[in-house]
Chains A and B, each alone.
Chain A
Amino acid sequence: MKKRGEEYLRYKITETGVSPRIIPGTRGALFRCEGSEHDEHGYYTEKPERVTAMWRKRFRKLETLLKELREREFPLVKYYGYPPEEADAVLVIWGSVKGPVLEALRILRNEYRLGVLQVVLMKPFPDKEVLDILTRAKQVVDVENNYTSQLARLIREETGYYIEKRINKYDGRPFNPVALSKQLREVIG
């Protein structure tokens, strides 16, 4: 016997991975948000075939997201300065490093032709966009405000591209454009 509100499937398995969502309180439907692994209703489950289906659905959602963002021309990556082929080096950055890097570009404008690749979205990762730019560059330098080059690691994980040249700053302060331009001279040569 079907219980009340069971026609609505909070975790309905769909092609896109996205399940239709209702507002709790909607008549004839119950919103079951389950923290443990669940079936389409939102009931707890340990059945292997249901668990497998739910994992596939969940990760399909990321593919759908990336596809839609591309279709809508959302800026997954941004690019500044000389095109990769013409640049002496392409700097790879994310987040607040953008300001001082663009300032350093201005300081070095008579010495180098530089390009900057800013990665905006980390998950799902815009692998094609990033790889397309990096493989066209003559030289790549990763500039990050952390010890471990988090973005360079992510790029390697997601694309296989290894960025050897790195500038890291981890003294608790943001990059200074003048100091950064000196470091860039040393690294680029």
Chain B
Amino acid sequence: MPHKPEDYDSRRWIQWCPGCGNYAILVAFRQALAELDLDPEDIVVITGIGCYGRMNNYVVANGFHVIHGRPIPVATGVKLANPRLTVYAFSGDGDAYAIGISHLPHVARRNVGIKLIVHNNAVYGLTRGQVSPTSPKGMKTKTTPKGAIVEPINPIALVLASGATFVARGFAGDIQHLKYLIVEATKHRGFAFIDILQPCVTYNYIYTYQYFRERVYKLEETGHDPTDFAAAWEKAWEWGDRIPIGIFYRREDKPALEELLPAVKEKPLVEHDLEGIDVKKLLDEHTI
């Protein structure tokens, strides 16, 4: 029997603020899993530190809640150990664009077949409202009481420049579109990146639902060609009165890292025989 979205609901008490963008992302994610009809045993949900970090608790799937900024390396390890698993790394703007940003260009360059979903609310919500790498210039926060003095980072351009093969942006105010992006990202051959514009109703007074609703438009409705890198690059820098969401760039001709590694090409590491391995000799040898 095909799966329904509620099959992925772990029925836990959810601890996010009423109105938080995380709810829409969670719903879109469950719907996408149902559409893909994945078995919970084949899904791995990896989360970092942030309000969204509880995500693994709210989905019926394997879950890893890891240290700050490290969903990408852990997801890479899981995918390489067993490429048959569908691996989702959930991260935030603090996690993926600040403390863990060093992993981002490399996972894009390596084209590891993981799906990175970034809850980008442009503020540190969990720690109660400090400036983040995507906070707009001038935004007043606990740590920038007179307004942020520097420009925010552009995650779409960063990931594009790093050689990513699937680059998209979603909006937490449009669940159906978000579901579509997650489904397409999952079907993608290598590394897929989705930056999600997520209103933080408690700490971000600029990026509200209304702010985005007035500005976002779907690339799919404009005739944008996602195989055209130059067009994607140009769209990556569009921000202001009009904000594009959808798939900026996509190419399926580049092999994923797990397709190239000799150790996992034939069969997953987890299926290699571990019988008859004696570690005692190694321990004796290396104990000084």
Contacts and interface: CB of A to CB of B under 8 A. Distances in A.
B67 interface: yes
A95 B12 CA distance: 48
Majority-rule SS of B interface residues: mixed
B132 interface: no
A96 B270 contact: no
A98 B288 contact: yes
Given A30-B40, A44-B54, A25 B66 contact: no
A5 B40 contact: yes
B63 A28 contact: no
Interface in B238-288: 270, 283, 287-288
A26 B287 contact: no
Interface stretch (A33-41, A129-137, A138-146): A33-41
B270 A43 contact: no
A24 B82 contact: yes
A33 B10 contact: no
B78 interface: yes
Contact of B85 (A3, A25, A43): A25
A29 B62 CA distance: 8
Nearest to A30: B62
A25 B65 contact: no
A40 B42 CA distance: 21
Given A23-B270, A30-B41, A43-B12, A4 B60 contact: yes
Interface size class of B (residues with CB under 8 A): 20 to 34
B62 A24 contact: yes
A34 B283 CA distance: 30
Interface residues of A, number: 26
A42 to B, nearest CB: 7
A76 to B, nearest CB: 11
Majority-rule SS of A interface residues: loop
Contacts of B10: 3, 43
Contacts of A95: 288
Given A25-B270, A27-B41, A31-B63, 20 more contacts: A4-B7, A5-B41, A24-B44, A24-B62, A24-B78, A24-B85, A25-B42, A25-B85, A29-B41, A30-B41, A30-B63, A33-B63, A34-B56, A34-B63, A34-B65, A35-B65, A43-B57, A44-B54, A95-B288, A98-B288
4 A-B pairs with the lowest CB-CB distances in the bound complex, closest first? A35-B65, A33-B64, A24-B62, A31-B62
9 contacts: A23-B82, A24-B44, A31-B62, A31-B63, A33-B63, A42-B63, A44-B54, A44-B57, A98-B288
